[in-house]
Amino acid sequence: MRNFNEFTITDAVLERVAGASDARTRQVSEALVRHLHAFVREIQPTQAEWEYGIDFLTRTGHMCDENRQEFILLSDTLGVSMQVDAINHRLPEGATETTVLGPFFVQRAPEHALGADISGQLQGIPLLVTGSVSSPEGQPLAGATVDVWHSDNDGYYDVQQLEKIGDLAMRARFRTDLNGRFWFWTIKPAAYPIPHDGPVGDMLEAQGRHPWRPAHVHFMIAAPGYEQLVTHVFEAGDQYLDSDVVFGVKDSLIRDYQEMPPGVAADGTTMDQPYRHLNYDFGLKSEARAIRAA
């Protein structure tokens, strides 16, 4: 086969990949070829535009290292990460909705006792976080692990400023009590921009978009027999809720970070200054449901 034109080239490539021994590899390859060729026929790029596209992807790769994954950032900002998340987390009623993991999760988060202050003595508005973990039917899940992490008062995560603060902060792992409940103290997070000094930032500027995410606390929750939950809880009223650069906001994940006066807090702590209180009750999807759905 030879002498291909803009229409016959697609069938020729599909014929070549049809010999893949793995069925999934063949399915993915064929879909990629069909959609990519259709994109090129629709856009009709000039040679210079094609070269710019190759350069953009090359620069994206060059920005990736052990501390930064520019391709995931690209996936996030094009909505692909949330699309993959949605496909893989079709949830029953009573299960908390998921959202993207984000780039600032670390495996070595320290485990703390319930009620601990994880702010690392960073300055900010005190925040009491309370909540529970249960099955979709409302059965409390004791001993569930609850990983949490968030930005500081200026929108920076601990891993972005380790030289300054010296150790991990605003992140921890807790275990729910016999009633499936957890609580801890920290400081109120702020909205922040994703890294935008690379090709993804160039893309956002060209598209007329901002790089900001609304304020939120990350949660990763796991319990035996249940599907791991990765989600955020966003602050109600944040100016970026309707324009989150990674499309991660869902109405069910928005809560008031309630303004509280000095006094005795919900966990019994006496506060001599105003603080905020965030409460959220999480429901986990059972692994049995996940297997049946598959």
Q: What is the pLDDT of residues 154-177, one digit of tens each?
A: 999 998 998 899 999 999 999 999
Average pLDDT score over the chain? 95
Model confidence at 3, in pLDDT bands (50, 70, 90)? confident
Q: Phi and psi (nearest 5°) for 149?
A: -160, 155
- SS3 at position 149: strand
Q: Is residue 154 part of a domain?
A: yes
Cα pseudo-dihedral 11, 24, 91, 171, rounded to 10: -110
- Would the pLDDT of 294 be above 60? no
Q: Is residue 62 part of a domain?
A: no
Q: Same structural domain for residues 95 and 40?
A: no
- Would the pLDDT of 278 be above 70? yes
Q: Which helix (H) or strand (E) holds 17?
A: helix 8-17
Mean pLDDT in residue range 205-225: 98
Sheet with 171-175, side-by-side order of all strands: 171-175, 145-150, 216-222, 229-235, 254-255
Lookup result for tokens 């391709």: 71
Selection from 242, 196, 248 nearest residue 79 by Cα:
248
Q: Is residue 53 part of a domain?
A: no
How far apart are alpha carbons 250 and 243 in whole angstroms? Answer: 12
- Would the pLDDT of 119 be above 50? yes
Residue 142's domain comprises: 80-293
More confident residue, 291 or 268: 268
How far apart are alpha carbons 215 and 235 in whole angstroms? Answer: 6
Q: Same structural domain for residues 94 and 225?
A: yes
What is the count of structural domains for the chain? 2
How far apart are alpha carbons 126 and 271 in whole angstroms? Answer: 9
Q: Same structural domain for residues 111 and 234?
A: yes
How far apart are alpha carbons 168 and 273 in whole angstroms? Answer: 25
Q: Same structural domain for residues 26 and 108?
A: no
- Would the pLDDT of 216 be above 80? yes
- Would the pLDDT of 291 be above 50? no
Q: Same structural domain for residues 10 and 93?
A: no
Q: What is the pLDDT of residue 66?
A: 79
